[in-house]
Amino acid sequence: MMDILEFVYGRYNGGSTVPAGSYFNPRTMCIFQTTSDAVLPQDGIFCRVDPSGSQTFATIATALNTLLGTSYTAASFHACGTSDSAPQPGQGANDA
């Protein structure tokens, strides 16, 4: 799943400055939305699933379902918050 998301939507590491858009974190199932340049939370890896920083979660779910063959709904996601933060986000590689 991560490979497909990264190839289609790009890969952004937590803590990076990103342009406006809606960013999905598949580890925590959270969505970070911003309407201007912003810094992603330290939650790991994000994919920019929509260039709009105000896209509905239902529309994002539909796009992900089409791409991944999943059955997400708007309720499958939540807005990123402090409870999603990884104590040690790693480097986006196999940290084993």
Domain boundaries, given as residue ranges, for the chain: 2-81
At 17 the three-state DSSP class reads strand
Mean pLDDT of 67-85: 90
> Residue 18, Cβ neighbours under 10 Å: how many?
17
Mean pLDDT of 65-72: 96
What pLDDT is recorded for position 44? 85
CB-CB contact of 74 with 58 (8 Å): yes
pLDDT greater than 60 at residue 7: yes
